[in-house]
Amino acid sequence: MESVLSKYENQITIFADYLEEFPDSDELVWILGKQHLLKTGGTGPSSDAGWGCMLRCGQMMLAQALICRHLGRDWSWEKQKEQPREYQRILQCFLDRKDCCYSIHQMAQMGVGEGKSIGEWFGPNTVAQVLKKLALFDEWNSLAIYVSMDNTVVIEDIKKMCCVLPLSADTIGESPLNTLNASNQSKSAPASCPAWKPLLLIVPLRLGINQINPVYVDAFKECFKMPQSLGALGGKPNNAYYFIGFLGDELIFLDPHTTQTFVDTEENGTVDDQTFHCLQSPQRMNILNLDPSVALGFFCKEEKDFDSWCSLVQKEILKENLRMFELVQKHPSHWPPFVPPAKPEVTTTGAEFIDSTEQLEDFDLEEDFEILSV
């Protein structure tokens, strides 16, 4: 999509046309109370064409999670039909404006803290890390975003993050999945969270070296069958797609590579949503043509959804000799202690907070990682 980077873009662009008349200087120039550096007087990208496809795919996965969160998994969009108020609020989270919590601007700026310059292509793991950090500023949707590390999903850590009210030390991390650890089987009723924060679970994976290893194909397809599925982020190098299902050995995907014009909120507070939906049928590709770097997504609105997901993983994924990923009960002892992510204490919020890259230092940087040896 074409995007407007700020409300001052037009004024600054006009100013930039006259920069050649000014001397080559490191000094600041002041105009109407604002300072500009002559050598960097541009406005940055005015479009995400050529670099934003993975960010757009991340937006699609997150938008699907928010639809499940507020409208239910069975809700579907109908053209020319009046949509629920929650739907309009979801759309406004993704508008191409700096003050929208999951805009292309917010994602690109937060990516600076992940070592990605604005205009640089993201991988699946980087997008996941960016969404996790942006969610800390999103009070309305109130999502807990967990991104697995080292090919491992830790039940104890997710329970700590999603249980809104405090639990005693001996109940945190307990799970109804007795099959995970036979020695911990108990006849007593399993503990549950007093209140559960809706969970977006993202599992970055490396399913091969240069191409996907065929041994992972069946397990990968099983993930799309799970009722908690949000599909997968992936594609080919510098060419991202949002995978939503499969037919035989072909993956069904949505392609973000149609450049579209900027859409803003209308006077009545709604958004013209025609371009937010498929203008053509989803496409397909052979699963073996998929780049091995992917990220699976799952949404668990309630604790029982997460417990059910754990059971399905135990049954369908962990049965394989060469497992696609691991699901463990306890936090690995050799890992640093798990601390649920929290919003940094700053004097401003939302878009204004990440408007300065210097303030990104409050976040712990997480490096991209390769996770499966084949």
Tell me which residues are annotated as active site: 53, 255, 257
Alpha helices (H) along 259-325: 303-316
Q: Which residues does 146 contact at the CB level (< 8 Å), separation at least 6?
A: 132, 153, 157, 158, 161, 199, 200, 201, 202
Tokens of 127: 């997008």
Helix (H, G, I), strand (E, B) or coil at 239: strand
Parallel, antiparallel, or unpaired: how do β-strands 34-37 and 144-147 relate? Answer: unpaired
Q: How far apart are CA 212 and CA 220, in angstroms?
A: 10
Q: How far apart are CA 336 and CA 359, in angstroms?
A: 24
Q: Which helix (H) or strand (E) holds 247?
A: strand 239-247
Place of tokens 């200087």: 25
From the list 327, 154, 308, the residue with the least C-alpha distance to 225 is 308
Q: Are 338 and 172 in contact (CB under 8 A)?
A: no
Q: Are 354 and 110 in contact (CB under 8 A)?
A: yes
